Amino acid sequence: MSTKTKYVYLFGGARTEGAASMKNLLGGKGANLAEMCRLGITVPSGFTISTEACTVFTERGRDAALKLIEGEVLEGVAFVEQEMGKKFGNAADPLLLSVRSGARASMPGMMDTILNLGLNDEAVVGLAAKAGNERFAWDSYRRFVQMYGDVVMGLKPVSKEDHDPFEVIIDMIKETRGVKLDTELDTADLKELVARFKALIRARIGRDFPTDPWEQLWGAVVAVFESWNNDRARVYRELNDIPEAWGTAVNVQAMVFGNLGDSSATGVAFTRDAGTGEDLFNGEFLVNAQGEDVVAGIRTPQQVSLVGSRRWAELAQVGEDERRAKYPSLEELMPEIYRQLLHAETTLENHFKDMQDLEFTIQEGRLWMLQTRNGKRTGAAMVRIAMEMLQQGMIDEKTALQRVAPDRLNDLLHPIFDPKALKASKVIARGLPASPGAATGQVVFFADEAEEWAKQGKAVILVRQETSPEDLRGMSVAKGILTARGGMTSHAAVVARGMGKCCVSGAGAVHVDPKARTMSIGEQVYAEGDWISLNGSTGEVFAGRIQTKDAELSGDFGALMALADRYKRMEVRTNADTPEEARVARAFGATGIGLCRTEHMFFEGERIVPMREMILADDEDGRRKALAKLLPIQRADFEGLFREMSGLPVTIRLLDPPLHEFVPHDEAGQREMAKEMKVPLTKIRMRVDELQEFNPMLGLRGCRLGIVHPEITEMQARAIFEAALDARAKGAVVKAEIMVPLVGTVREFNAQAKVIRAVAAQVFAERGQSIEVMLGTMIETPRAALVADSIGRQAEFFSFGTNDLTQMTMGFSRDDAGRFLPDYVKAGMYEHDPFRSIDQKGVGLLVEMAVNKGRAVRPDIEVGVCGEHGGDPASVAFFHRAGLDYVSCSPFRVPIARLAAAQAAIADG
Ligand code: ADP
Ligand code: MG
Ligand code: MG
């Protein structure tokens, strides 16, 4: 006997089949609608068509999918009819439906929703009569034709400068009527709109708008399935690593109406502040409005709570009298509804134990909840909400740690405006503090141009009237986003917070003219390319560039980090080449330096000169003379590092890059070098040519340099030992580790170790004192990983150089892979860029093997990683599982790695 797959799940007052736990099947929206019904919260009845139906649709096509679900959908509609006491398709008293997409992971605004489905020329008359409100019926109808025309029939703007064709018609009618707001259009205008919309559809696609409600319903269901594969959904999935295979569910639900007059409204709310994390219920609503009106920024939304309303008024520079008259809060306007809403938000937050993002509609004095989900928030809000919910006893320590996405700590580590520079700057406009942070950049008006400019290395601020999902890519590369319209829950605001990007929204004084590529504020006109700055925490817009300054760990952030340290097993070190970097990293909680690249010390200022002398020298003697000049410089640098990191390990890598990196390759540079060195240009040219390699990454570099020219290793070892003794003499506790790069065979390591030990003996003899220094190697060639047991017998520690290891194992040149890797990843050859997140199945295997081989011969061998991957949360989790003792990453990723390490330990149980 075969059991039939169930594709449709009911929710409503009488019966609910789904639950929050069924997100994979019902999508986030459907699962939570069902859960709200279970909690006794008032939700319009409906049903959810499962994501499995979407998969059938994608794989086997429309007819197969519809045949499978048809019977259950008919039953679903019958259920809603019974719940609402109205019939779908009954023109005299029509049941109207909304058709809403809903994937597993929330993708706000990414896919399409259709409202008021079931209306046609007869039903609109019935609806008007039943509601006793003709304007409402026609307003609903024009919205339906507009949404259906867009989503199902494909009437989109033609080009990026073009407007939505329906909005163009609306603007035309508004102009002839001399009105500004949608709400000012009367019934006759709305009838006119419907007629014109239909004519537009007919003219554009040669088909009439469907009048049969069932035809409308099937069309809408198919459109939602198809929307899973539209461009903006694809881009969103790409940016957020959502697999294509998940599919979307379709929610079909009875309509409730926020546009039934002044006792009706629609809104969105957050149980806590999504920008700062403050435990304050907040939200926005519009009276006599429907659907996305609040988010679309068509009218200025009102605040839900009185506190919020007063705060808003202050920012928007609206006086208290005007606020109360024109923009009263829901708390003032409909106190009883506000009380119910508070009850719902408390119930939902307590139930889901996380900050909720809510959608609601008020129909003639009755509150209906339309959606709840875990709200998107800034990194700062993530931290604060997690720590406060922990203090409030809502969640435990492990949950608090897991609530913060490590990467999002970036937001808190971002620079803020330098207070002094800020004082000297002029505020040119104010908007809403939609997403915190400081941004300074050049104005661009189009998302694709933001991308182009950013590619050229420019800092850009994307300025738009309002943003839409088409702007995603441009938003993701901009330093900040400024919109002229839209509230705290506008598309720009929600998306920017999700990205941790600075955003000021609804700066009403800003007039954007996309055709002229200018924005004007009062008399002042700003053109594309002009510099402006944004403060996303206050909503201020400034003229010009403003200096920024680094953030610090404190408050909830500091507490979260302390908590992370209690759970993590791995240490987090930093990659630092200067005492200044070491200081920053130590403040961020680094417990050592995992990689000091000595060569970086040679590039600065005058130092390059003796380095070049060494490279130009004809013989060992000449090289030694030049190296003697470098010695005191290196010694001082190392001493500074040892003192800054007193008590903590400092791992110093011997010279690694090919020598040609230190000489100029252009004619002008070579001339200058010739003049400075007092040698003929031809000599420089010859030497540069000699140093040229076809594949420098596989050439004379790493320990190969020290083996060919032992005097280089000698100088560096001497600098390290002398610095260690000097720092100790000044009171520092020195824990130095010398690291030999690019080893492939134990003989290379032994050869370098011999040189280093000989120098140590000499220095100790000269100084009459000695110091313990560990001697280890990098594991960064595949061969080193393969023979790690033989190397481990000699080396006291391993540090995985996963950049080189990835490059050599995968055969991708790091310098050239940028040309094809993005396309390659898009084509699914690899799941992600292996230089960003370690290739666990391949390169990772080498790491695991080398750890095991090393431990087998030297049980207490210290193993760490110092490639870029040390700051990537997924890689950090992998290194934890592989049993590494520490990861090392750039100073600004240290907190991220600490949290990722704690999460990895928690996941490990
Ligand atoms: P999104 O996933 O983009 O948030 P939704 O499916 O939530 O899209 O729909 C967008 C808006 O449409 C909702 O916020 C709500 O205001 C309105 N809406 C959806 N379904 C209904 C309904 N049954 N009755 C009234 N309004 C609805
Ligand atoms: Mg929604
Ligand atoms: Mg390397």
Q: Largest Cα–Cα distance in the chain?
A: 105
Q: What is the pLDDT of residue 235?
A: 82
Residue 603 has pLDDT above 50, yes or no: yes
- Residue of 811, 736, 721 whose CA lies nearest to 776: 736
Angle between helices 894-907 and 873-881 (to 10 degrees): 50
Q: For residue 881, what are its two tokens?
A: 């599982």
H helix runs in 536-680, sequence order: 555-567, 579-587, 600-603, 608-616, 620-644, 667-677
The alpha carbons of the chain give a radius of gyration, in whole angstroms, of 32
Residue 194 has pLDDT above 90, yes or no: yes
Q: Considering the chain, what is the average pLDDT of its residues?
A: 93
Of residues 433 and 701, the one with the higher pLDDT is 701
Mutate-to-test residue for ligand 1 from 292, 356, 364, 468, highest number of ligand atoms within 8 A of CB = 292
H helix runs in 353-428, sequence order: 379-391, 397-402, 410-413, 419-423
Name the closest-CA residue to atom 23, ligand 1.
Answer: 255
Enclosing H/E stretch for 593: strand 593-597
512 strand-pairing partners: 519
**What is the dihedral sign for C-alpha 905, 906, 907, 909?**
positive
Burial tier of 841 (Cβ tally within 10 Å: 0-12, 13-18, 19+): exposed
- Residue of 563, 183, 242, 625 whose CA lies nearest to 403: 563
Q: What is the pLDDT of residue 677?
A: 85
Q: What is the pLDDT of residue 299?
A: 81
Name the closest-CA residue to atom 6, ligand 1.
Answer: 100
- Closest atom of ligand 1 to CA, residue 371: 7
| pLDDT average, residue stretch 221-239 | 86
Asked whether the beta carbons of 98 and 250 are under 8 A apart, the reply is: no
Residues with Cβ within 6 A of ligand 1?
A: 44, 98, 100, 108-109, 113, 115, 253, 255-256, 266, 291-292, 359, 361, 370-371
Q: What is the pLDDT of residue 82?
A: 97
Query: What is the CB neighbour count within 10 angstroms for residue 394?
Result: 15
Tell me, what DSSP letter sits at residue 245?
A: G
Please name which ligand lies nearest the alpha carbon of 255.
1
pLDDT class for 604, splitting at 50, 70, 90?
low
Q: For residue 535, what are its two tokens?
A: 């403060």
- Closest atom of ligand 1 to CA, residue 109: 3
Mutate-to-test residue for ligand 1 from 113, 224, 287, highest number of ligand atoms within 8 A of CB = 113
Mutate-to-test residue for ligand 1 from 146, 250, 359, highest number of ligand atoms within 8 A of CB = 359
**What is the dihedral sign for C-alpha 831, 837, 839, 840?**
negative
First vs last C-alpha separation in the chain: 42
Q: Which amino acid is at 166?
A: F
- Closest atom of ligand 1 to CA, residue 102: 2
Q: How many angstroms separate the alpha carbon of residue 627 from the centre of ligand 3?
A: 23
Asked whether the beta carbons of 373 and 286 are under 8 A apart, the reply is: no
- Closest atom of ligand 1 to CA, residue 44: 23
- Closest atom of ligand 1 to CA, residue 110: 3
What is the per-residue pLDDT across 541-574, written as a single tens digit (0 to 9) for each?
999 999 887 677 778 999 999 999 999 999 999 9
Residue 156 makes CB contacts below 8 A (sequence gap 6+) with 150, 164, 165
- Closest atom of ligand 1 to CA, residue 290: 16
Distance CA 260, CA 127 (A): 11
- Closest atom of ligand 1 to CA, residue 101: 6
What is the per-residue pLDDT across 371-383, written as a single tens digit (0 to 9) for each?
999 999 989 999 9
653 strand-pairing partners: 597, 739
Helix, strand, coil percentages for the chain (3-state, nearest 5): 50, 15, 35
Name the closest-CA residue to atom 22, ligand 1.
Answer: 255
Mutate-to-test residue for ligand 1 from 98, 101, 287, highest number of ligand atoms within 8 A of CB = 98
Distance CA 112, CA 240 (A): 18
Name the closest-CA residue to atom 13, ligand 1.
Answer: 291
Name the closest-CA residue to atom 27, ligand 1.
Answer: 291
Mutate-to-test residue for ligand 1 from 11, 36, 115, highest number of ligand atoms within 8 A of CB = 115
Tell me, what DSSP letter sits at residue 471?
A: G
**Length in residues, the chain:** 909
Distance CA 386, CA 383 (A): 5
Q: What is the pLDDT of residue 486?
A: 80
Please name which ligand lies nearest the alpha carbon of 739.
3
Q: How many angstroms separate the alpha carbon of residue 254 from the centre of ligand 1?
A: 11
Q: What is the pLDDT of residue 317?
A: 85
Q: Is 738 helix (H, G, I), strand (E, B) or coil?
A: strand
pLDDT class for 74, splitting at 50, 70, 90?
very high
Q: How many angstroms separate the alpha carbon of residue 892 from the centre of ligand 3?
A: 21
Please name which ligand lies nearest the alpha carbon of 740.
3
What is the per-residue pLDDT across 383-417, written as a single tens digit (0 to 9) for each?
999 999 999 999 999 999 999 999 889 878 877 88
- Check 502, 596, 866, 889 and give the catalytic one: 866
Q: How many angstroms separate the alpha carbon of residue 361 from the centre of ligand 1?
A: 9
Asked whether the beta carbons of 452 and 462 are under 8 A apart, the reply is: no
Name the closest-CA residue to atom 1, ligand 1.
Answer: 109
Q: Ligand 2 (ion): which residues have CB within 5 A? A: 359, 371
Q: What is the pLDDT of residue 2?
A: 55
Q: How many angstroms separate the alpha carbon of residue 113 from the centre of ligand 1?
A: 7
Q: How many angstroms separate the alpha carbon of residue 595 from the centre of ligand 2?
A: 47
Place of tokens 């200025």: 300
Please name which ligand lies nearest the alpha carbon of 802.
3
Of residues 110 and 876, the one with the higher pLDDT is 876
Q: How many angstroms separate the alpha carbon of residue 42 from the centre of ligand 1?
A: 15
pLDDT class for 108, splitting at 50, 70, 90?
low
Q: What is the pLDDT of residue 301?
A: 92
Q: How many angstroms separate the alpha carbon of residue 8 from the centre of ligand 2?
A: 20
| pLDDT average, residue stretch 305-310 | 97
The fraction of the chain above a pLDDT of 90, given in percent, is: 74
**What is the dihedral sign for C-alpha 20, 23, 29, 34?**
negative
What is the per-residue pLDDT across 805-858, written as a single tens digit (0 to 9) for each?
999 999 998 778 878 888 888 888 988 889 989 999 999 999 999 999 999 999
Mutate-to-test residue for ligand 1 from 11, 369, 371, 495, highest number of ligand atoms within 8 A of CB = 371
| pLDDT average, residue stretch 220-236 | 88
Name the closest-CA residue to atom 12, ligand 1.
Answer: 291
H helix runs in 85-154, sequence order: 123-131, 134-151
Name the closest-CA residue to atom 26, ligand 1.
Answer: 291
Q: What is the pLDDT of residue 801?
A: 96
Distance CA 487, CA 178 (A): 25
| pLDDT average, residue stretch 284-291 | 92
Q: Is 289 helix (H, G, I), strand (E, B) or coil?
A: coil
Please name which ligand lies nearest the alpha carbon of 806.
3
Residue 515 has pLDDT above 80, yes or no: yes
Name the closest-CA residue to atom 20, ligand 1.
Answer: 98
Residue 495 makes CB contacts below 8 A (sequence gap 6+) with 108, 467, 472, 475
Q: What is the pLDDT of residue 818?
A: 77
- Closest atom of ligand 1 to CA, residue 292: 11
- Check 491, 660, 869, 880 and give the catalytic one: 491
DSSP symbols for 742-790: S--SHHHHHHHHHHHHHHHHHHHHHHT----EEEEEEE-SHHHHHTHHH
Name the closest-CA residue to atom 8, ligand 1.
Answer: 113
Q: How many angstroms separate the alpha carbon of residue 405 from the centre of ligand 3?
A: 29
Name the closest-CA residue to atom 9, ligand 1.
Answer: 113
Q: For residue 795, what are its two tokens?
A: 């080396």
Distance CA 65, CA 5 (A): 12
Please name which ligand lies nearest the alpha carbon of 233.
1
Q: For residue 14, what are its two tokens?
A: 């009488």
Q: How many angstroms separate the alpha carbon of residue 801 from the centre of ligand 3?
A: 5
Place of tokens 């280093």: 756
Distance CA 772, CA 774 (A): 7
What is the per-residue pLDDT across 119-177, written as a single tens digit (0 to 9) for each?
999 999 999 999 999 999 999 999 999 999 999 998 887 776 677 899 999 999 999 99
Q: What is the pLDDT of residue 1?
A: 47
Q: Is 104 helix (H, G, I), strand (E, B) or coil?
A: coil
Q: Give the CA dihedral 465, 468, 471, 477, nearest 10 degrees.
A: 80
Asked whether the beta carbons of 555 and 573 are under 8 A apart, the reply is: no
- Closest atom of ligand 1 to CA, residue 100: 6
- Closest atom of ligand 1 to CA, residue 295: 14
Distance CA 540, CA 417 (A): 12
Residue 462 makes CB contacts below 8 A (sequence gap 6+) with 444, 445, 447, 450, 471, 474, 475, 478, 480, 481, 482
Please name which ligand lies nearest the alpha carbon of 98.
1
Asked whether the beta carbons of 740 and 703 are under 8 A apart, the reply is: yes
Name the closest-CA residue to atom 15, ligand 1.
Answer: 291
Tell me, what DSSP letter sits at residue 674?
A: H
Q: How many angstroms separate the alpha carbon of residue 437 from the centre of ligand 1?
A: 30
Q: How many angstroms separate the alpha carbon of residue 889 from the centre of ligand 1?
A: 44
Q: How many angstroms separate the alpha carbon of residue 15 from the centre of ligand 2?
A: 23
What is the per-residue pLDDT across 640-677, written as a single tens digit (0 to 9) for each?
999 999 999 999 999 999 998 888 888 888 998 899 88
Q: For residue 836, what are its two tokens?
A: 């960003």
Asked whether the beta carbons of 888 and 860 are under 8 A apart, the reply is: no
491 in active site: yes
What is the per-residue pLDDT across 749-802, written as a single tens digit (0 to 9) for each?
999 999 999 999 999 999 999 999 999 999 999 999 999 999 999 999 999 999
